[in-house]
Amino acid sequence: MTAKETIASATNGETHAAPSSPAARAALDFGKAWTYAPAPEAADHVRIDPRYELFIGGKWVAPSSGKYFETVSPSTEQKLAEVAEANERDVDLAVKAARVAYEKYWSKLSGIERGKYVYRIARVIQEKARELAIVETMDGGKPIKESRDVDLPLVAAHFFYYAGWADKLAYAFPGRSPRPLGVAGQVIPWNFPLLMAAWKLAPALAAGNTCVLKPAETTPLTALLLAKIIEECDLPPGVVNIVTGAGATGAALVAHPDVDKVAFTGSTDVGKRIQKALSGTKKKLTLELGGKAANIVFADAPLDQAVEGIISGIFFNQGHVCCAGSRLLVEEGAFEPLLQKLRDRMQTLRVGDPLDKNTDVGAINSKMQLDKIRELVEAGEREGASRFSTPCELPARGYWFAPTLFTGVSQSHRIAREEIFGPVLAVMTFRTPDEAIEKANNTMYGLSAGVWTDKGSKSFWVSQRLRAGVVWANTYNKFDPSSPFGGYKESGFGREGGRQGLLPYLEVD
């Protein structure tokens, strides 16, 4: 694609590639046939408090420093609430409350009684699912249909699943004697705030541990609503504590000497610092870090189905997914038809108000993340890759980036090596299965991958050779609480989900 084939968007000064020919442009000109009437999700019944305190020992506690920070909606840049900023003293109070709760209450309960509490949390989450989905969308920017149809069902499913394991730990590890560790310190990211809280809390509570949870500073609201649910479910005080704040709060929790287990989901750089800080201690650690997943499409694949998987793999949640299929490897024989289908499909994506039920791509989570995406996209253009961005009109306020793909990408380009964490796809080609595997594994990450082919034997053969913790075949981004999730190399270690997700929270002899 030449420079003459790009057009400038009327908004935000972004550059966009035009369809490849006048005939193609005419074929895609449906007038207003793809225009949907607004279908906003009503939010007038959702109550967000003007200020939130810390949830420590079953009570709402003001921060000892008296400091609060604002959480804003990335789609409007409007302030949603003020949230308490916890310091080392607050973290210490939370850990002490968790220790007392572990020794006085939680460790003395039978597995079946713990399971009842976890089950109760799941049921109340189901009852409040609409409210939680709306707040998740308002605070994080993801489309309401994703919060409503993906995040919340999975949140409830994880609590239900681990409620069932609470009285069956001896069956999970037959012939061994599983015991809880004690106090778990858990730090979660901003891309799936409530789901990540469920991934951390559900197995820890089922295994008999108490928890101190630190949500991301840009998306704390649903974790605080979860604290209200835990309060409503009458869990013993201190079993779950939630402290909000920025990186210093998380660092204080990780470094606290009375924390027995640390679970972190976030960037690889922070994960490395945590691992270094905990080396030489007796704390157990699991890390779920970054990714640069390869989505491999063979020429014999059903291309229309593959296009839908590619779209889901990279544009789901604006690309704010650690396992996003951000590298597309296409067999040369299928490159041209697949690329045309992919461009056509991208132009049907609706970018805009995340509370509109028709929206496909919502707002970027923060200005900082938007700046990072722009910087890496500019690097891709400087290094010679050809950019195609959907020519959509972006809202005037908020943080937005049009769905984008690059062709002419080499393995050395930054957009092929670094995690962009945005709606940006790097497309490359291959000639043989061996070349596809070599390119897919040529990354410091190893979290996930996808394989598209109509031959089952080929999908198994390729999957066995990919250094990725999760490999999807002829689908992408499918999750289930009974299936373990985690990575290799610099994508971290340990597993969350399934029976394997219990093990990091247990001492097993």
Structure-derived torsion over alpha carbons of residues 415, 417, 422, 425, reported in degrees to the nearest 10: 60
pLDDT at 509: 84
Q: Give residue 4's pLDDT band: very low, low, confident or very high (50, 70, 90).
A: very low
- Please, what's the b/e burial string for 460-471 (b: 16 or more CB within 10 A of its CB; e: otherwise)? eebbeebbbbbb
Q: pTM of the prediction?
A: 0.93
Write down the mean pLDDT value for the chain. Answer: 94
The first and second tokens of residue 382, run together, are 């400087």
Instruction: Report pLDDT digits (tens) over 361-373.
Output: 999 999 999 999 9
Q: Give residue 187's pLDDT band: very low, low, confident or very high (50, 70, 90).
A: very high
Instruction: Report pLDDT digits (tens) over 204-228.
Output: 999 999 999 999 999 999 999 999 9
Instruction: Report pLDDT digits (tens) over 258-279.
Output: 999 999 999 999 999 999 999 9
Cβ-contact 274, 254 below 8 angstroms: yes
Residues with a catalytic annotation lie at 288
Helices (H), 141-209: 144-146, 152-165, 169-172, 193-207
Distances (CA, A) of 329 to 322, 369, 424, 478: 18, 26, 14, 20
Instruction: Report pLDDT digits (tens) over 436-481.
Output: 999 999 999 999 999 999 999 999 999 999 999 999 999 999 999 9
Cβ-contact 106, 209 below 8 angstroms: yes
Q: Give residue 18's pLDDT band: very low, low, confident or very high (50, 70, 90).
A: very low
Q: Give residue 25's pLDDT band: very low, low, confident or very high (50, 70, 90).
A: low
Residues 310-332: what's their mean pLDDT? 98
Instruction: Report pLDDT digits (tens) over 140-177.
Output: 999 999 999 999 999 999 999 999 999 999 999 999 99
How far is Cα 166 from Cα 203, in angstroms, rounded to an integer?
A: 8
Residues 184-201: what's their mean pLDDT? 98
- Secondary structure (DSSP) of 322-368: TT---EEEEEGGGHHHHHHHHHHHHTT--BS-TTBTT-SB---S-HH
Q: Give residue 12's pLDDT band: very low, low, confident or very high (50, 70, 90).
A: very low
- Secondary structure (DSSP) of 460-476: HHHHHH---SEEEES--
Q: Give residue 35's pLDDT band: very low, low, confident or very high (50, 70, 90).
A: confident
Residues 74-98: what's their mean pLDDT? 98
* Residue located via tokens 């291309």: 303
Residues 34-45: what's their mean pLDDT? 87
Instruction: Report pLDDT digits (tens) over 397-442.
Output: 999 999 999 999 999 999 999 999 999 999 999 999 999 999 999 9
Rounded to 10°, the helix 335-346/303-315 angle is 50
